Each structure stands twice: as structure tokens, then as C-alpha cells.
Structure 1
Amino acid sequence: MAVVTGAESGIGRATAVRLARDGMDVGITWYADEDAAARTAAEVRAHGGRAAVEHLDLTRLPDAADAVDRLADALGRIDVLVNNAGTGTAISFLDTDFATLREVVDVDLLGPYLCSQRAARRMVGQGGGGRIVNVTSVHAHQPRVGAAPYCAAKGGLGLLTQTMALELAEHGITVNAVAPGEIATPMTGQEDTDVHTVERPGVPLGRPGDAREVAAVVAFLAGPEAGYVTGASWPVDGGMLRMGPMAGSHLTDHSWRRP
């Protein structure tokens, strides 16, 4: 059984459906749109999986992490946790107020920490190992102006992933990160966009990613074929990180391609 946080839309929804296609029951959490979470659950069931739904507000810590235990109780166990729920900012470092900083760090770092603790304790108790996949960002590896709290939290989640991988390995639990670039989701204002019709000159593959492309990598890391993979970060970014200081979805032409 898998728990996917933030599964009402975007990467979380695509991941929940993909894991159901792969034969898993799925626990779904939602933050803002219960009806959307119900639609995700219906898709999971349409693929033959059982589904359970819980509200999760990661600004209400530590109690919010109880949702992981409730979903595990509802579906009988937990074998996979995907920490996908997240939030971000578009404000300068100098202008960021404490409330905004605290919200982003709670949702993007402390929440995944506590949810992973709950899941890992159950996995250890069950025996047989498990999988934890943290959805970070390319900005866990490279900074972005206007996103200081987000970069700090996602960078911290990246190092937490590595530490968890070391500590949980003896229990047969692997821990990896998936680091998306620009993906067509509600967070980027592109839900249901045909990514092949959108030009992104600043991305080597020339377009945004589709949420299902991220879900496919999460599903690999959550599955049996990734049993010897742990502590790694898997960018799903169309090659953007390989550009280093030239990177950016904001670029408007292809001049960087020429020496």
C-alpha cells in the first residue's frame, strides 16, 4: 500500500494513479479540494486499487502527520510513502515575512520529516522493508531568485533524504528524491496543458514536463526493480540542471544553444 500526499492534483494525482496501475492500494491526502481528491480516488479504484482519503494540512504540525497512520490503518499497512505535498513563494529574500517562511518550511521540510517518521516506524514494525520517495525540486540543487524559503526547504529535504537513506537501510527501507523542473501542474498554472504545444527555449528538451513523466520515475523508485537504489536524487527536468548558470524556463530564445 502507498500513501501519496498532495494527491488531489498535479504530480500527486498522477503518481497515485500510476501506482494503482502498478497494482497498489493508495492512501490519498488533500489540502484544498476534497472533491478533486475524490476524483483521484475514483481513478485509483478504476485501476483496481483500494483507495482511502484523508485531509492533510502540513501547517498544523505535528498532529497533521496523524493522517499517515489513519491511512495505514484504513488500508492495513504501508509499504510506500510519497512526500509530494508542497508550497512555494515568489518574493524577495529581503521582503519575506516570518509567517511565509514558517509556512514554506513546515510544508516542504518539517511535514515530510514527520510523515516519513510515521511511515518508517510502521515499515520497521511490519518487517519487509519499504520505499520513501521525496518530491523535491531542481531548486534543491540550484537556487532561484524570489524563492529563498522554497530553496532552503527543498535543499534541506534533499539532505534529509540522504540521511534517512543511511539510517533506514538496515531495515530494508530505501529513500530517494525526485527533483522536478517545470511541470505542467496547477502550481505552475498549466494543469491539463499539452506540454508538447508549449515552447520553453531555456529547457534543453524545449518544453515543460508532464506530471505523468514525474510519476513514472516515482513509480520506478517505489517498485521492486529499484531495490538497490537509495539516497539518490533523480532530476526530471528536461535537462535544465545540466545547463548550470545558463538554465531557466524564463529564457525567450535559443541563443544559448550556439557557442
Structure 2
Amino acid sequence: MNGQPGTTRAAVVTGADSGIGRATAVRLAQEGLDVGITWHQDREGAEATAAEVRDAGRRAAVQRMDLTVLPEAADAVDRLAEELGRVDVLVNNAGVGTAVPFLELELDDVREVIDVDLVGPLVCGQRAAQRMIRQGDGGRIVNVTSVHEHQPRVGAAPYCAAKGGLGLLTQVMALELAEYGITVNAVAPGEIATPMTGQEDVDVLTVRRPGVPLGRPGDAREVAAVIAFLSGPGASYVTGASWSVDGGMLRMGPHAGSHLESDSWRRP
């Protein structure tokens, strides 16, 4: 899956104005891909990402995408692919969450989370896959889920439902798109130092997380490295998998996770 001879591969990364999306766009540019960047509210952030992509020697294109407006939002994938000449990689990264008890949820808020975190990636995945099939040389789709694809969290019912659904959608896409040489995988981050967790530009080595086996939150670039692997030739036989990038958080099981305040669980 290298594109036609003499062509440069191109990626579209949704929600690439900050955090994991920005780190992924820059990492893919460093790997030699041109990058299409979408943003919802932070155009300045998206342009800053584009500048980093260009500093890495690759072309960048920017489009606004509002995943609450479907299916029209996915038009941004087509516009970016047209501007860059093709699309070889789609990273469905844009997402939104809640912190509301189940009994207090409003239906409009639930629908917004489901649209952004599940239906949006489905529609964007369709658009990208259709183009990859016409191009005729395969492709890569990476859906950014969460550790809450696999484990629940109090106050996050719509988010967990959407991410769990996206995990199973990833598996169905992998089965159906394999015949076209398109691999589809999920990356499931744990606590990552991003604006979404209120830790933008934090040095993760200075933050103590006793409840995470590696003892700290993750850096967005650590997630981007896994996405880049799944987007490249080294992952040509990997499809339908969910890759946890969580410092071991999911392995904690009944020990709980990142909110623990002591290391007492480390001793029997």
C-alpha cells in the first residue's frame, strides 16, 4: 500500500487542531505523508498544525468539519482528498465526551456524542474507503477510540456507548474492506495529556499517577507513534485490532485506574 509509483501518500486526520490529532498529523508528515487537517472550533490551532506539517516538508490542507451536521460534515474528507490529490490514510480522531450522571442525561447531548464519536467516523470512513477503492491500491483507516471502548466510566454513558460501538464498527469495517487491501484498526488511548483532559503542554514525566502501572499520563506523541505504525507498511497484515495506549491502565481491572492516589495496590 504505497500508492502509485512517483506519488506521495496523503492522510486525513480529523480533529487535528490540538492534542492527539495534531501530534498524529505531524508524525505522519515526518513519515512522508501530505496531511489534510480538520477542525471544528479552533481554526488557529489547525493552522498551527498545518505549519508544523509544512515545516516537516510536506503539504498541508485545512478544512472545517462539524460532525453534528451529518452526512454533510464528511464532505470535508472529499475536499481534502481533492486538494491533496488522493487519500491513503484516514484517522478518525475528532471526538467529544460528557461528565453527566446517567439519570441526568439530556437526549440532545447523548445524540451529539453519538453523532460525533460514532456516526461521524462511520460516514467519514465510507467517504475515504470509497476513494481508496477507486485509487485501487489499498489504504489504512485508524479509528481513535478510548480505553472506554473496553471498560466503562461513571458519568460517561454516551461516550462509552459511542466508543464501544466504534470498536465493533472497526471490526466490521476490517472484515468488509479487507478484500480491497484496506486495513482498519482502533487505537484506544488512556489518560493522555491533551486539552481534553486539561493537561495541554504538560510534561507527563512530572505528573504522578499511582493508579497507572507506568505511573504517569501519556503524551499525545506516544499515541501518534502507534497510529503512524498502523498507517504504514509495517502494519500491512494487521487489521480489526484495538491497540490500547494506556500505560497499563486496562490491566488494572478491579484495582481501578488513573484516579488512585497511592501505590498500595503494588503490594499484596
TM-score by length of 1: 0.99
- Helix, strand or coil at the partner of 1:110: helix
1:64 aligns with 2:73: yes
Secondary structure of 2:140's match?
strand
In the other structure, the counterpart of 1:105 is 114
Whole-Å separation in 2 of the counterparts to 1:87 and 1:143:
16
Number of the residue aligned with 1:118: 127
Q: Does 1:88 align with 2:68?
A: no
User: Post-superposition shift, 1:63?
Assistant: 0.4
Aligned to 1:149: 158
- Counterpart residue number, 1:197: 206
Q: Which one-letter code corresponds to 1:125 in the other structure? A: R
Partner of residue 248, structure 1: 257
Paired residue total? 259
Aligned letter for 1:114?
V
Unaligned runs of 5+ in 1: none
Asked whether 1:130 is paired with 2:139, we answer yes
Give the equivalent residue in structure 2 for 1:167: 176
Q: Kindly indicate whether residue 83 of structure 2 is the aligned counterpart of residue 74 of structure 1.
A: yes
| 1:99-144 superposed Cα distances (whole Å, 9 cap, x missing partner) | 1100000000000000000000000011000000000000000000
1:117 and 1:188 map into 2 onto residues whose CA distance is 30
Given the alignment, which residue of 25, 29, 34 partners 1:25? 34
Question: Which among 56, 63, 79 is matched to residue 47 of structure 1?
Answer: 56
What SS is found at the alignment partner of 1:144? Answer: coil
CA displacement, residues 144-167 of structure 1 (integer Å, 9 cap, x when unaligned)? 000000000000000000000000
Distance between the aligned counterparts of 2:116 and 2:37, measured in 1? 16
Distance 2:253 2:41 in 1: 35
CA deviations over 1:8-57 (Å, ceiling 9, x no partner) = 00000000000000000000000111011001000000001100000001
CA RMSD for the aligned pairs? 0.4
Moved over 4 A (4+): none
The offset of 1:247, in angstroms, is: 2.5
Q: Percent identity?
A: 78
How far is 1:245 from its partner? 2.1
Scaled by the length of structure 2, what TM-score is found? 0.96
Separation in structure 1 between the aligned mates of residue 145 and residue 256 of structure 2, nearest angstrom: 18
Which secondary structure does the structure 1 equivalent of 2:103 belong to? coil
Secondary structure of residue in 2 paired with 1:57: coil
* CA distance, structure 2, for counterparts of residue 137 and residue 198 of structure 1: 20
Structure 1 CA distance, aligned partners of 2:260 and 2:196? Answer: 20
